[in-house]
Amino acid sequence: MRALILSDIHGNLEALTAVLAAAQPFDTLWNLGDMVGYGASPNEVIDLVRPLAELTVRGNHDRVCCGLSSALGFNPVARAAALWTQRTLTPENTAWLRAVAQGPLQPAHPGVTCAHGSPLNEDQYILNMRDAWAPLQQMPTPITFFGHTHLQGGFAQKEHDWQELKPRYSTHDQAESVVLDIAPGTRHLINPGSVGQPRDCDWRAAFAIYDSDAATIHYHRVPYDLTTAQGRILMAGLPERLAARLREGR
């Protein structure tokens, strides 16, 4: 079984389209949330990913952009994007976002949990081993997929051995992948990275493939039509910073 894991698409249609093309073939899709916010194609992203996803977890931007919680906790740029997204979403997509379940959720495949932020608190970021320690200890499944940080990688633990996972790539302009073997008896927190707004200084769209038969996780990066994505943001009247940071990858 090959599962495509996506997170933090953030209204970036060009990045999502590139990822779906590069990820073929896959058997199922698990969506870790934050489909909207920041980018200028929220309806198009939802219309594309919604019918494909076996499982979707809500993200904090999804929650704010559909009106379930206030944007006051966001910084000014994120707040402006969220309010624009609220006005732009179709009634159908707003209603669907409001119904998306809070994580953590478990797909039909055994041994896996999916969350947006920490599986212990959807708004908490898992940035270091201190953040990862409690989820690694407490989750009922050996593998937990999470997003929210926009940083591809994760954490692993086997008995007294703890490890931070950071895929290493050789370029920043071509499609690349890095394979992680899932060792027996090891617990993992895996972040596929952000499809539409990476923040690890690599502008390419990020995703992961979980191959349960081979016991591997493939981290991927793929280039996409950055110019068009930036142009959509500027033409929508969204803050220019949202377009500039796509090239910076941070």
Identity of residue 63: R
Band (137; pLDDT cuts 50, 70, 90)? confident
Residue whose tokens read 């019918």 = 51
Q: How far apart are CA 101 and CA 194, in angstroms?
A: 20
Is the pLDDT at 183 greater than 90? The verdict is no
Residue whose tokens read 């407490």 = 138
Q: Encode pLDDT of 144-162 as tens digits.
A: 999 999 999 999 998 888 9
Q: How far apart are CA 138 and CA 21, in angstroms?
A: 36
Q: Which two tokens stand for residue 84?
A: 């624009």
Identify any residues that bridge with 173 across adjacent strands, giving them in sequence order. none
Q: Encode pLDDT of 15-35 as tens digits.
A: 999 999 999 999 999 999 999
Which helix (H) or strand (E) segment holds residue 2: the answer is strand 2-6
Is the pLDDT at 213 greater than 90? The verdict is no
Q: Encode pLDDT of 44-99 as tens digits.
A: 999 999 999 999 999 999 999 999 999 888 999 999 999 999 999 999 999 999 99
Nearest to 135 by CA among 151, 149, 121, 116: 121
Nearest to 56 by CA among 151, 173, 147, 159: 147
Integer angstrom CA distances of residue 195 from 7, 9, 152, 187: 6, 5, 10, 24
Domains of the chain, CATH where assigned: 2-32+103-248 (3.60.21.10)
Q: Encode pLDDT of 108-119 as tens digits.
A: 888 999 999 999
Provide CB contacts within 8 A for 197, sequence distance 6+: 8, 10, 12, 38, 39, 150, 245, 246
Q: In the chain, what is the straight-line distance between the N-terminal and C-terminal CA atoms, in Å?
A: 33
Identify any residues that bridge with 4 across adjacent strands, giving them in sequence order. 29, 209
Whole-number mean pLDDT of the chain? 95
Length of the chain: 250
> In the 8-state DSSP scheme, what is residue 102?
P
Task: Give the model's pLDDT for residue 171.
Answer: 81
Identity of residue 19: V
Q: How far apart are CA 142 and CA 106, in angstroms?
A: 12
Task: Give the model's pLDDT for residue 200.
Answer: 94
Asked if omega into 25 is within 30° of 0 (cis), the reply is yes
Q: Residues of the chain with pLDDT > 90: what percent?
A: 86
Task: Give the model's pLDDT for residue 176.
Answer: 95
Relative to beta strand 55-56, strand 28-31 is parallel
Nearest to 85 by CA among 50, 35, 127, 152: 35
Task: Give the model's pLDDT for residue 224.
Answer: 98
Task: Give the model's pLDDT for residue 161.
Answer: 87
The stretch 208-231 carries a mean pLDDT of 96
Provide CB contacts within 8 A for 10, sequence distance 6+: 34, 35, 36, 37, 38, 39, 61, 194, 195, 196, 197
Band (173; pLDDT cuts 50, 70, 90)? confident
The stretch 234-239 carries a mean pLDDT of 97
